[in-house]
Structure 1
Amino acid sequence: MSDPETELQGIAALLAGRHAELTDELVRAFGERIPELPKDPALVALLHGSAGSNLENLAHLLRGHVPAQQIRAPSAAVEYARRLAQRGTSPSALLRAYRLGQQLILAWAVEEIAVRVPDPLLALQTSNLLTQTSFEYVDAVSEDVIGAYQSERERWLANRSAVQRETVEALLRDERLDVAAAEASLGYRLRQHHLGLVLWTAPGAGDLAAVERTVGLIADRVGAGHALFVPRDRETAWAWVPIGRAGEPDLTAIDDLVAGGGEVSVALGPVGAGEPGFRVSHLGAAAAQEVAQLGQHPAGHVVRYDDPTVRAAALLARDLPATRLLVRGALGDLAEDTDGAARLRETLLAFVEERESYVATAARVHLHKNTVKYRVDRAIEARGKALGEERLDLELALIACKWLAPEVLVRAGG
């Protein structure tokens, strides 16, 4: 005659045989019914491993392979709990996953018992034993994973910059995050307007204190609150200045602030709103920094992504070999890496941008209009082509030389 233990072992064997299918069902249910759990592929894969390993351990317990007092959370479950702690996901979401998982597995197992055990009394005894054993398992394992979660959370919060960096990188990768949890991790509101900054010092300077002071000065002048400051290495940092819900701030004061220090360079992104603006403003600042570094601009310099020539230079910087060919083909001898050619290129670019007005160009570059005409004529002669010939290539080449020199210039001797 059968007994509850024997019947339960049969259910355990069936559980082991349908392990993969049941794991998929659990993960799908968690995703649908617990929205707080991260949805990015890496965390979903960890959740899959956690659910699968828990089902394996439960099957061993139901079969009597493991004594109840030796129950421990599987390593995959502990790792998933730690990753949730790093992300700032509420521990209640983790506990809910265990309760929901137990509910779903019990519902499945009770149906199987009803089919496999025709004796109602034996079926009831088997179901009761299953419920008791599963509660013992979930109680022990949840203690382990919550302990791991809390320890990891304390360790993670002890290193605030690591938490901020992880959250910032997830936002920049456009991962779906709980906005409230991300704001708590960053100590910074995402639901406002942002001005993204990338700041750096000269190689070897390594003065992040000066970089942080610069961010503070900029935030005091143009911001609406405390800036988010995220060091990247000994010479570089990312920052976001809160602009609040207002429109475009007056950024003209930033030039004087940065030039006054003389040791920190700043790239500015466009002002953006909300979580998407947080990301877009940073990406613009990062592109502007790349332009500044390729062009070897001096310290104490401000580069703005909202400058159309900077945006064009950022695109040209993505394929420097092609840009070099463009510069050589469009400028001829005007592409030489000399002080004289640089003066001619600067005047010609201003002349083109001022719609070929000698008067406007003279006012812009602080020269007499006759001097402007002389330089423009010399530049066209050095180019070897009329001003209107391949006009777009000419403008792009002059922009590339302005921002990306000496990367794109022709050096002496070829």
Structure 2
Amino acid sequence: MTDESTIAEAAIGISERLYARLAETTGVIEDMVASQSPELTGDPALLGLLHATVAANVDTYFSAIRHNIPVADIAAPAVALEHARRLAQRGVPVNALVRGYRLGHSIALQLVLEEIRAAQLEPDLSLSVLGQMSTLMFGYIDEMSQQVVAVYQIERERWLESRNAVRALRVREILSGDSLDVDTMTTAIRYPLRRTHVAIVVWYPDSGGDRLSAAEGFIKHLAESLAVHGAPLFIPADNTTGWAWIPLPSTTWPDEPGVVEQIRGYALAAADEPWVAIGDPMPGVQGFRRSHQQALAAHSLAVASGSARVSAAGDPGLSAAALLGGDVEAARAWVGEVLGPLACATEPDERLRETLRVFLRTGSSFKAAGELLHFHVNTMKYRIQRAVERRGRPIAEDRLDVEIALLLCQWYGTAVLSALSPGDE
């Protein structure tokens, strides 16, 4: 049986012969990694860093063998850590970084095996040397991978936070309405401001913790489903809410209202059930601002009512309801004053309110309202009479107030309704 000192001496000899050809060894590994992981060589700067990283890792590995340094005591070369940081800044996936180390491990092990064969050692000694060097190599690659991935993740978070903070600041400057150079700002936020835009607010009201990643992922996949030309713009509003804009071809405005329905359908079918408020598609910088204002208004209404998971500014009556419902407490009091007991939060009152709302919207036509609600004319007359009686007074003198109150009930639901009156218990 070969003793450990003999194995260690032979391993050192193999490593020294490979180290003597460091440039050649490095070149073989680098060529393999570069050909199999092109993400790591996006430009000359990255290619230079890859070369330096491979050379530093090869040098460190063979030094560990020659000097019997435990893997746990080896720190990743500084250039390898800088390589990881630079990849994080470029948005290269961390999987590409880890795969590069695995490929390097594979080709380095092959080079070690070839050198052991060339040394013509005794068969048992050859196997023992290969076992020792491959064990150390695996431990080295595993340790280095962990260290560079940790640095990558820290840098990626820092870089995104810094970049997104600047981007969010520029977006808020655009929304403020200040004069600006459109082309300069387009470059700054990396979004085509001269296009047609549909603004979206996406949020998760019942979820704890940070849901921004989910919100951003939803917007990304939504944009892909719409086959739009250009990446969407997403900035965080808080840790559960994101603001987004999707660029549309200019020809979609105003002749393509269907895009809003596509967004609605996608949001309603989304597995993680985000809440979504959608502005109208509008062109240019002014459209960028106005569509966002509309989405914010729909968001405020949805938050206040708690009942419309997906809503759009173009939904009939929504924009007016959002304007009128700025102060929900005052709106509730006013609705109660206008509708009386008809503003109670009961199912019978809800049915009467809906009947009266449709009746007034159709110009007080029993026939037209009946057709919409699938009621006979006599049934419509009876239900309208019941609604007026429930209210407690005719609707002729303050018809507009009644219509507005019914609109607020439709959109805000229980947020503007009253509890049961004493006689209704």
Does residue 260 in structure 1 map to residue 263 in structure 2? Answer: no
Q: Which residue of 2 aligns with 1:211?
A: 215
TM-fit CA distance, 1:169: 0.9
Q: TM-score, normalised by structure 2?
A: 0.56
Alignment equivalent of 2:233, drawn from 225, 228, 232: 228
Structure 1 letter corresponding to 2:177: D
Q: Deviations over 1:91-138 (max 9, x none)?
A: xxxxxxxxxxxxxxxxxxxxxxxxxxxxxxxxxxxxxxxxxxxxxxxx
TM-fit CA distance, 1:371: 4.3
Q: Which residue of 1 aligns with 2:304?
A: 294
TM-fit CA distance, 1:369: 5.1
Does residue 280 in structure 1 map to residue 271 in structure 2? Answer: no
Alignment equivalent of 1:313, drawn from 321, 335, 340: 321
TM-fit CA distance, 1:289: 0.7
Counterpart CA distance in 1 for 2:360 and 2:351 is 14
Label 1:159 to 1:366 Cα distance change in 2 as closer, same or farther (>3 A): farther
1:131-150 matches, cutoff 5 A: none
Does residue 340 in structure 1 map to residue 348 in structure 2? Answer: yes
Is 2:235–2:242's contact at 8 Å kept on the other side of the alignment?
yes
Counterpart CA distance in 2 for 1:400 and 1:316 is 8
What stretches of structure 1 move > 4 A for 4+ residues in a row?
155-158, 366-371
Alignment equivalent of 2:337, drawn from 329, 334, 343: 329
Is 2:294–2:313's contact at 8 Å kept on the other side of the alignment?
yes
Larger mean CA deviation between 351-360 and 338-347 belongs to: 351-360
TM-fit CA distance, 1:162: 0.9
Q: Deviations over 1:195-240 (max 9, x none)?
A: 1111112322554344334323442327443211112223211111
Q: What is the SS of the residue equivalent to 2:317?
A: helix
TM-fit CA distance, 1:260: 1.1
1:361-380 matches, cutoff 5 A: 361-367=369-375, 370-380=378-388
Q: Deviations over 1:277-335 (max 9, x none)?
A: 1111101110111111111115xx32221234111111212233442333122211101
Is 2:304–2:328's contact at 8 Å kept on the other side of the alignment?
no
**Contiguous gaps of at least 5 residues in structure 2:** 1-157
Q: Which residue of 1 aligns with 2:30?
A: none
Counterpart CA distance in 2 for 1:210 and 1:366 is 42
Q: TM-score, normalised by structure 1?
A: 0.57
Is 1:217–1:257's contact at 8 Å kept on the other side of the alignment?
no
Alignment equivalent of 1:171, drawn from 171, 174, 190: 174
Q: Which residue of 2 aligns with 1:242?
A: 247
Is 1:203–1:235's contact at 8 Å kept on the other side of the alignment?
no
Q: Which residue of 2 aligns with 1:269?
A: 279
Structure 1 letter corresponding to 2:202: L
Q: What is the SS of the residue equivalent to 2:395?
A: coil
| Alignment coverage as a number of residue pairs | 258
Label 1:370 to 1:345 Cα distance change in 2 as closer, same or farther (>3 A): same
Counterpart CA distance in 2 for 1:172 and 1:353 is 35
Counterpart CA distance in 2 for 1:173 and 1:210 is 27
Counterpart CA distance in 2 for 1:388 and 1:225 is 53
1:20-35 matches, cutoff 5 A: none
Structure 1 letter corresponding to 2:340: G
Q: Which residue of 2 aligns with 1:134?
A: none
Q: Which residue of 1 aligns with 2:114?
A: none
